[in-house]
Structure 1
Amino acid sequence: MLFDYNNKNEKSIYDYAKKLEGMTFREVLDEYKDSMYKTYDDFHHLRTKVNDSPNISYLNKDPGYIYNPKAKGQLGGLLENCYFGYKPNSDPHADFFDVGVELKSTPIEKKNNGGYRAGERLSITNISFEEPVEDNFYKSHVWEKIKRILLIQYLRDKSIDRLDYMIEFVNLFTPPKEDLKIIIDDYNAINNKIKQGKAHELSEGDTMYLGACTKGATAKKSMRPQYYGDHEPAKKRNYCFKTAYMNFVLKNYILKNNVPYESIVKEKIDSTVQDYILKLINRHIGQTDEELCKEYNREYNNNKAQWKDLSFRMLGIKGNHAAELEKANIVVKTIRIEENGKNKESMSFAPFKAKELVNENWEDSTVYEYFEATQFLFVVFKKSGNRYKLKGAKLWHMPYHDLNKVVHEEWGQYQNIIKNGVKFEITNSDSGKMNIKNNLPGQKDTKIIHIRPHSQKAAYKLNNGVQIGNVERDADELPNGEWMTRQSFWLNREYVLKQLKDLL
């Protein structure tokens, strides 16, 4: 029966919530519509003691829950209203105040291999720009919201109506001790930036597990004056657990997959994890790649993987799956600088699908999400004679202006060209080989990002009948039905080099 739980008893709340597993949101809503009780108070305070029937004169006159399929966060509100019997609110205190339990619902998605991954970041509570920040983490609303979370995870399938999403897992979750230290460091880092009057420069990439995510339909609508500094308007933001952290929570604390993760931090440290990571690498500054191979008992063979492997070994791990890197979405990038001061390569990212790109909004786009939430650990070597010397390491994320001004404009330029139809020019070389050029801006035409082929082999299928290469394997379909070699975004070489100037 709906609302048949004690909101002042954690076990009662949990046992009642656990019944949601296997239900769809539609089933919850239908049960609510059929119920004579519309709130928790209806059920517990307005029933007669004699025959368990409602006292009609006092029964809540709520007309029923109205589902808006377009509203963000609607499914969480549905559970609050229709299953737990209280009105959705923005109260900074925990939802079940008497026991300190906060209700949070969040999507998960099924991977191609049948496993699960987190669908998005978990919003925690509003960051207020209208009052001083709370310096004491344990007195903050963040701690009140995360110290005991009733975490409800539902399976998102964008091909069906959201009401038909099924609730898969219901668990009580508290961040473990080893995570909490990093979460507190993140909280302090966010607040320090706010106190400097730089809330407008906040980014999820500033921190490890706890992020500052944007909130509001559009940037213009969500702007608020800052309390600190010159009161420059800043986007509304929420404290959140970043997507990478939620993915780790799902795999290791909910599913308990017991995946063997390495750890960079193997003992108690006094510094932040970020500083500790940099210290592990920077203690080797000045050593050559050959010397590092000898120190870490690795063959010196100059293959492409050698320098990245050395980066991991300096961190005391074997690969990219260290717990701290996974939870914080830190991507290790090893960069080699030649004697002339130039880096050999641009930096590539995952390929995109053109038909998806043209339908994206900027703040929901793959490019924005990636650079907003990702930190990079740049490990830099510079050529000296016939060896490469370690110049140092830095943690970097794309600055606010670069992402929200320059990259936004360049991304929009590519989106418009692809949406309106890529123009192809076909030429033949002296040897008779067919070459196909397009009108997408190249690296020389942009400041930060450019598009170029991700596949090693060219493949095209054009509306004029021209077809070359393995289209099914190496090409991507454009909105107008033509196919071109699969593309990805790249960071420009010169831009990457500018970010490393303090190491060179």
Structure 2
Amino acid sequence: MIQLPSPPENEAILLARAHALAGETLAALAQRADLPIPADLRRDKGWVGMLLERYLGASAGSKAEQDFAHLGIELKTIPIDAQGKPLETTFVCVAPLTGNSGVTWETSHVRHKLARVLWIPVEGDRAIPLAQRRVGAPLLWSPDEEEERMLRQDWEELMDMIVLGQVERITARHGAWLQIRPKAANSRALTEGIGEQGEPIMTLPRGFYLKKSFTAPLLARHFLL
């Protein structure tokens, strides 16, 4: 087992570490980190991210803050196909279903998480065994004015529905780039929400996700696909 790094002191060091992982297989990285490889990711969704965090020196663990809180950077691994297109939506954070009076985009958890993101694409084609999948070149990104405007618009639309007691009406089709959908281990994991008459209801926990309609052009622009 190799000695894994301490948290990076600055962005340049973090980016250099991420570039050093490009082209590596998950098997090689897991072996050096002494981490067992799951058969697949169905029950271990966060495994790839956890593996890369070890090499990058992430400090947040499962805490709600950014993965590199001292740098204000969030790590997002993104599974891609052979053409470099994302294969699934990207989880951002849990959606708050109660206590939202006075919450604004500026102070929102979504904006905080997406202020600065280190994207690391990883081969995600199911035909490639997990162990043989390779890590791609990283991208350090912050939303430009137009991206922020669109994300804010989606966030405000979705949060309005939550505040107005319409959480059960929200579908994955709402929002151009940002969506809300259930995030629960099973249908029994309920949490408190607000109903149409302002009454407390029990509902599935929800999460904010970035749609592929956002991440696909983002990757294409930066990697010139």
Normalising by the residue count of structure 2, what TM-score does the alignment of the two structures yield? 0.87
Paired residues for 1:131-170 under 5 Å: 131-132=99-100, 135-170=103-138
CA 1:160–1:101: 2 relative to 1, 3 Å: same
- Contact persistence 1:200–1:232 (CA under 8 A): no
Q: Distance in 2 between matches of 1:177 and 1:196?
A: 28
Which of 231, 236, 244 lines up with 2:213 in the alignment?
244
Q: What is the deviation of 1:66?
A: 4.6
Higher gyration radius (CA):
1
Paired residues for 1:90-169 under 5 Å: 90-110=62-82, 115-132=83-100, 135-169=103-137
CA 1:179–1:85: 2 relative to 1, 3 Å: closer
- Could you report, residue by residue, the CA deviation over 1:2-45 in whole angstroms, capped at 9, with x for unpaired residues? 54465231111111111110011111111112xxxxxxxxxxxx
- Contact persistence 2:79–2:123 (CA under 8 A): yes
Secondary structure of the structure 2 residue equivalent to 1:107: strand
Corresponding residue number in structure 2 for 1:17: 18
Secondary structure of the structure 1 residue equivalent to 2:200: coil
Corresponding residue number in structure 2 for 1:84: 56
The gaps in structure 2 that reach 5 residues or longer are: none
Q: Distance in 1 between matches of 2:11 and 2:171?
A: 35
Corresponding residue number in structure 1 for 2:48: 75
Q: Distance in 2 between matches of 1:5 and 1:71?
A: 24
The alignment status of 1:224 with 2:197, answered yes or no, reads: no
Q: What is the RMSD computed on CA atoms of the aligned residues?
A: 2.2
- Contact persistence 2:60–2:69 (CA under 8 A): no
- The one-letter amino acid paired with 1:10 is E
Corresponding residue number in structure 2 for 1:425: none
CA 1:200–1:2: 2 relative to 1, 3 Å: farther
Q: What is the deviation of 1:134?
A: 6.0
- Contact persistence 1:104–1:149 (CA under 8 A): yes
Q: Distance in 2 between matches of 1:174 and 1:22?
A: 24
Normalising by the residue count of structure 1, what TM-score does the alignment of the two structures yield? 0.41
Paired residues for 1:379-390 under 5 Å: none
Secondary structure of the structure 1 residue equivalent to 2:92: strand
Q: What is the deviation of 1:222?
A: 3.7
- Could you report, residue by residue, the CA deviation over 1:358-404 in whole angstroms, capped at 9, with x for unpaired residues? xxxxxxxxxxxxxxxxxxxxxxxxxxxxxxxxxxxxxxxxxxxxxxx
Q: Percent identical across equivalent pairs?
A: 21
The alignment status of 1:182 with 2:150, answered yes or no, reads: yes
- Contact persistence 1:135–1:188 (CA under 8 A): no
The alignment status of 1:29 with 2:1, answered yes or no, reads: no
Secondary structure of the structure 1 residue equivalent to 2:138: strand
- Contact persistence 1:212–1:240 (CA under 8 A): yes
Q: Distance in 2 between matches of 1:109 and 1:158?
A: 9
The alignment status of 1:235 with 2:208, answered yes or no, reads: no
- Contact persistence 2:6–2:57 (CA under 8 A): no
Secondary structure of the structure 2 residue equivalent to 1:225: strand
- Could you report, residue by residue, the CA deviation over 1:165-204 in whole angstroms, capped at 9, with x for unpaired residues? 1111211011221111011011111110110112122222
Q: What is the deviation of 1:107?
A: 0.3
Secondary structure of the structure 1 residue equivalent to 2:173: helix
Paired residues for 1:301-320 under 5 Å: none
Secondary structure of the structure 2 residue equivalent to 1:233: strand
Q: Distance in 2 between matches of 1:164 and 1:130?
A: 43
Paired residues for 1:466-485 under 5 Å: none
Q: Distance in 2 between matches of 1:177 and 1:2?
A: 40
Secondary structure of the structure 2 residue equivalent to 1:247: helix
- The one-letter amino acid paired with 2:86 is A
- Could you report, residue by residue, the CA deviation over 1:413-432 in whole angstroms, capped at 9, with x for unpaired residues? xxxxxxxxxxxxxxxxxxxx
Q: What is the deviation of 1:133?
A: 5.9
Q: Distance in 2 between matches of 1:7 and 1:243?
A: 30
Corresponding residue number in structure 2 for 1:428: none
Q: Distance in 1 between matches of 2:60 and 2:69?
A: 14
Q: Distance in 1 between matches of 2:96 and 2:36?
A: 29
The gaps in structure 1 that reach 5 residues or longer are: 34-64, 258-504
- The one-letter amino acid paired with 1:72 is K
